[in-house]
Structure 1
Amino acid sequence: MNAGQQTTRRLASRAGQSICRSCRDSISRTYASAAAAAVQTEDQISQHIPPVAQASPSTSYAVNAGIVLSRPPQITRDLHPFESAFFLYQRRLNERLALPFTRYFYFKKRTPADLEWKRKMKQRLTPARDIGRYKGYGEEAWNDEVLVGANESKFEWQVEKLLEDAEQSGAEPGAADAPGTKKIEREPVDRPMPRVTEADKKNDTKSLDRALQRTLYLLVKNKEGRWEFPQDKLREENLHGAAHRIITHTGGVNINTWLVGHVPIGHHQIDYPEARPVENLNEHGAKTFFLKARIMAGQVNLKENKLGLQDFKWLAKDELKQEVDGSYWRSIKNMLAER
């Protein structure tokens, strides 16, 4: 049976009318080519339209808003050994290129800067303060490489030498006590803050003064005893409004935060072993959509939190992995910064 005959039979059956054989054959011959081009067979239709599974209208998921609250790095990271060696090489090379110039290229004669330079050169024996001594002229001029393990290659040693040079006036010991000599007063030098804090030494995970080179994330222990990001169900509000409420209900009103955007940066889904009846629906799980936020000032205070939270920690990405469940970690790991 060709396509035209199939079309005729279907039209007849739909209209509930009977057609004689001669009329049916005439229609088939006249419209066979047009019907073959326009009509697909039932087999072809079944190949192109996959069956669609109809979800039960009573099936639903609870929608939660979660907060990825973070404190960004406060200081630059430690240099890689190759970077440290390269920067030291560049500073020493710059000194070699500057040696042929007379000091009057940098300092005007008989100015305080020129006098201080001459005094300090007697103590330094080299223009450089932080990269070691070097004789640009003489038999040892060729010996300008830093040996492996030398103190000059250590960052802490370089900082101490710079501070020591800034604190000294360049005068000889006891010279200020000589008759007719004016004592040189030096202003106190502010020393840099340590890169390793007391919170690092004590491993105080509740402090924001630890791991200054890393990004720290707020992790809370919920009322079931599970560690996760702060979250709660939506209450006739959008995600952005719920995020503001969750931050206040978690950390209190004395925490200054900033929501970075209105768009979620990720989500986590939980499927319940058995459906939970909620009003007229059966909840088969929960979906949590996370928004990104930054802490600007303040600290978390759980004394008056309204979410039943038991504890909190500020953790880096690798530390956070040890606290959360495996499925939760797989959902959130790509949202977190490595440092």
Structure 2
Amino acid sequence: MVRFRWRQQYQRRYPDEFLDKSDARGKGDYQIDYVPAPRVTEADKTNDRKSLQRALDRRLYLLLFGNAYGAPSGKPVWHFPEKVYESEDTMRKCAESALNSVIGDLSNTYFVGNAPMAHMVVHPKEDQSGPTSFKKFFFKSQVIAKNKFNIAKCEDYVWVTKDELTEYLPEQAEFFNKMIIS
């Protein structure tokens, strides 16, 4: 009695000439001289914080300088792209709208999840009149395959690492150190 193996019906028999050529592949006297690109770029050397071509081994965060919601007396401050939640279907749509108003086309960005990664309650300062306390929600998004953006609707902008973030937002340094994993 001959046993039939299920795999036999799918097994292919290739000609010997074909197998001989595949065995010889990769056995040459050639050598590829590969030199990886340096991790330190020109933007690193000049400390160009407007460039995405810096700190290539770290995550960069976009900060804007301009009017922020809840800023004392409408004075320009450093902040993340933000928008007051109005009538969007979801909070993520609001976050996408905030980023879209700053960088334009979102085809080169990826939002990680539908829920915010963190939130912070902002209390008004004693000398500040205006809005009562409110919550800021933070969504994580990533830039994919793009090196340059036309940043709009702000006076200035920077791309900073987690360590540099505390230079711009020192009063929230403890919060960002807990929130952001480097």
> Is the shorter-chain TM-score for this pair beyond 0.5, marking a shared fold?
yes
Q: Deviations over 1:243-287 (max 9, x none)?
A: 1101110112276111101111111222123663xxxxxx41221
CA separation in 1, counterparts of 2:56 and 2:37? 12
Query: Counterparts in 2 of 1:62-101, with a 5 A limit?
Result: none
Match of 1:242 in 2: 94
Q: Does 1:251 align with 2:103?
A: yes
Q: Does 1:312 align with 2:157?
A: yes
1:225 pairs with one of 66, 69, 76 = 76
**AA matched with 2:56:** L
- Number of aligned residue pairs: give it: 146
Q: Does 1:294 align with 2:131?
A: no
Q: Does 1:213 align with 2:62?
A: no
Match of 1:322 in 2: 167
**AA matched with 1:241:** K
CA shift in 2, pair 1:190/1:236, >3 Å? same
**AA matched with 2:49:** T
More helix by share: 1
Q: Deviations over 1:164-198 (max 9, x none)?
A: xx4xxxxxxxxxxxxxxxxxxxxx74432112111
CA separation in 2, counterparts of 1:200 and 1:255? 27
Match of 2:112 in 1: 260
Contact 1:275 1:285 in 2 (8 A): no
Q: Which runs of 4 or more aligned residues in structure 1 lie more than 2 Å from their structure 2 counterparts after TM superposition?
A: 188-191, 222-225, 273-276, 297-300, 328-333
- The two structures have a TM-score, normalised by structure 1, of 0.39
Query: Counterparts in 2 of 1:27-106, with a 5 A limit?
Result: none
Secondary structure class of the residue paired with 1:289? strand
CA RMSD of aligned residues (A): 2.5
Secondary structure class of the residue paired with 1:297? coil
**AA matched with 1:230:** P
1:196 pairs with one of 40, 55, 61 = 40
**AA matched with 2:158:** K
Structure 1: give runs of 5+ residues left out of the alignment. Answer: 1-110, 117-165, 167-187, 277-282
Contact 1:258 1:295 in 2 (8 A): yes
CA shift in 2, pair 1:189/1:330, >3 Å? same
CA separation in 2, counterparts of 1:254 and 1:233? 19
**AA matched with 1:294:** Q
Contact 1:302 1:310 in 2 (8 A): no
**AA matched with 2:155:** Q
CA shift in 2, pair 1:243/1:190, >3 Å? same
CA separation in 1, counterparts of 2:57 and 2:137? 28
- The two structures have a TM-score, normalised by structure 2, of 0.70
Q: Does 1:336 align with 2:180?
A: yes
Which structure's CA Rg is the greater one?
A: 1
CA shift in 2, pair 1:199/1:255, >3 Å? farther
Residue 302 of structure 1 and its aligned partner are, at CA, apart by: 2.5
